[in-house]
Amino acid sequence: MTLQAATPAFADRLAATLPADTLRAPEARYLEEPRGRFFGGGGVLALPRSAEEVSVIVKACAAAQVPLVPYGGGTGLVGGQIKTEGPAPVVLSLERMNRIRAVHPLENVLVADAGAILAEIQQAAEAVDRLFPLSLGSEGSARIGGNLSTNAGGLNVLRYGNTRDLCLGLEAVLPNGEIWNGLTRLRKDNTGYDLRNLLVGAEGTLGVITGAALKLFPRPRSVGTAILQVTDPEAALRLLALARDQVGEGVSAFELLSAQGMHFVAETLPDVRLPFETPPAWSVLIELGLQNGADAALEALFVAALEAGLVRDGLIAQSETQRAEFWSLREHIPIANKKIGSVASHDISLPLSALPDFIVEANAKVESFGPFRINCFGHLGDGNLHYNVFPPKGGNRHDYDNIRHSVSEAVYDLVHSYGGSFSAEHGVGRMKVAALQKYGDPARLAAMRAIKAALDPAGIMNPGAVL
């Protein structure tokens, strides 16, 4: 079917069925993404306040064959929230649907609108002495519907899993405008196909998530944080194994940091305090969350790692202020990256044992293209690296636009050869559609297209994203 633009006449007809202030022209912030690589056209901005209003909007789009792009916090990094070509869409922002609907501490469940900001969900859990463990650099503006739609990862996947693992039930509006009332708080419900897991990670191509029932957890009473200098990524992996042998599932986060990342922070964000006067080639930011004795467990781990030759030096946070400084460094690395301006950024995952060899081989491949700076960092505990390539000092990323895709292809080919994924936690969006076509399993892609055709035969839901 041929999609039609969201014209003023269509907007007028739709507006007549909704409260007076629901529709307006989209501002620039709804038509661009954080890295400045994707820009959209005009269209109509819809700001519903309920699943029922979302249903009205989706039904109208389906009847008129007008494309619809769900919009969360706008923090996505692969262009999934921006329609770059074709008929102007309805941009459906859930920012007004931002309530915490209910909190059930004894059940360890929180129910929220899809437009609820992640940080506010964390605060609502903390208010009842519970933890919602999803943690991202953009948590102050990211919305839970977008987190679910992209199956976001973050800092605590090692212990608590991706967003998919934190979701019990969903409320969603399907492409025909019907509301699916799947907002269950059950932990066991073995009644057929799991629509929840179909919509989580679908990036708005199969429906609009409007509400979610989320898992909460007990808050660790003792939290210990350290930055440890390791000899190389192989030593970092061995340190992770040692840590899990000693404290089990008490390892909440395990982040690999490179010297290049610290140099970028020093260059662009001089007010951010670095833990070491001379940045080590490799270090690990580790956090333990236990019911008691986290600092003692970290000290024992440090001693054992020294004896095993895995670490050279380290700092264990002696206060909440120092702990915050360690995490501030990690959180500012992506900000520093943005200020430098990458030639190519790669959100990848690999089998843990393959990571050290991959890093060596990938560095050699990238260096064959030119004298680039490489900032390799990320969530080592779950195999997720952010492998980002930058111009030489004094250079500009746009000077290398002609080889940007070749650099990424070389990295992704290598990732694929190791049995890894070209998209670990950011999704496919529009940026990686070609990569999914190239590296995706043919049977899986065929099944995905069949599901899309069955649920969204008019192709109105976020066209151009994922498939």
66 falls in which pLDDT band (50, 70, 90)?
A: very high
pLDDT (0 to 100) of residue 421: 97
Q: How many CB atoms lie within 10 A of CB 370?
A: 15
Look at residue 133 and tell me whether its pLDDT is greater than 80.
Answer: yes
pLDDT (0 to 100) of residue 412: 98
* Mean pLDDT (the chain, rounded): 96
1 falls in which pLDDT band (50, 70, 90)?
A: low
Q: Please give the average per-residue pLDDT across 396-402, as a whole number.
A: 93
pLDDT (0 to 100) of residue 179: 98
Look at residue 23 and tell me whether its pLDDT is greater than 80.
Answer: yes
Q: Please give the average per-residue pLDDT across 329-334, as a whole number.
A: 96
Coarse DSSP helix, strand, coil percentages of the chain, rounded to the nearest 5 percent: 40, 20, 40
Q: Are 138 and 122 in contact (CB under 8 A)?
A: no
41 falls in which pLDDT band (50, 70, 90)?
A: confident
Q: Please give the average per-residue pLDDT across 422-441, as a whole number.
A: 95
14 falls in which pLDDT band (50, 70, 90)?
A: very high
Look at residue 35 and tell me whether its pLDDT is greater than 90.
Answer: no
pLDDT (0 to 100) of residue 181: 97
Look at residue 266 and tell me whether its pLDDT is greater than 90.
Answer: yes
Angle at 130 between CA 199 and CA 239, to 5 degrees: 80
Q: Please give the average per-residue pLDDT across 69-93, as a whole number.
A: 93
Separation CA 114–CA 369 (nearest Å): 43
Q: Which two tokens stand for residue 423?
A: 């998209």
Q: Is the pTM for the entire model greater than 0.85?
A: yes
Angle at 431 between CA 415 and CA 135, to 5 degrees: 75
Separation CA 58–CA 442 (nearest Å): 31
Among 82-86, 354-358, 387-391, the least confident range: 82-86
pLDDT (0 to 100) of residue 42: 75
Task: Quick: pLDDT tens for 437-461.
Answer: 999 999 999 999 999 999 999 999 9
Q: Please give the average per-residue pLDDT across 78-85, as a whole number.
A: 91
Among 32-41, 70-79, 453-462, the least confident range: 32-41
Q: φ, ψ for residue 279 (rounded to 5)?
A: -60, 130
Q: What percent of the chain shows pLDDT beyond 70?
A: 100
Q: Please give the average per-residue pLDDT across 406-430, as a whole number.
A: 96
Is the C-alpha dihedral spanning 108, 111, 117, 120 positive or negative?
negative
Q: 41 or 27, which is more confident? A: 27
Q: Please give the average per-residue pLDDT across 68-74, as a whole number.
A: 95
Task: Quick: pLDDT tens for 219-264.
Answer: 999 999 999 999 999 999 999 999 999 999 999 999 999 999 999 9
β-strand partners of 24: 45
pLDDT (0 to 100) of residue 77: 86
pLDDT (0 to 100) of residue 34: 83
Largest CA distance in the chain: 73
Q: How many CB atoms lie within 10 A of CB 62?
A: 19
Task: Quick: pLDDT tens for 357-398.
Answer: 999 999 999 999 999 999 999 999 999 999 999 999 999 999
Look at residue 139 and tell me whether its pLDDT is greater than 80.
Answer: yes
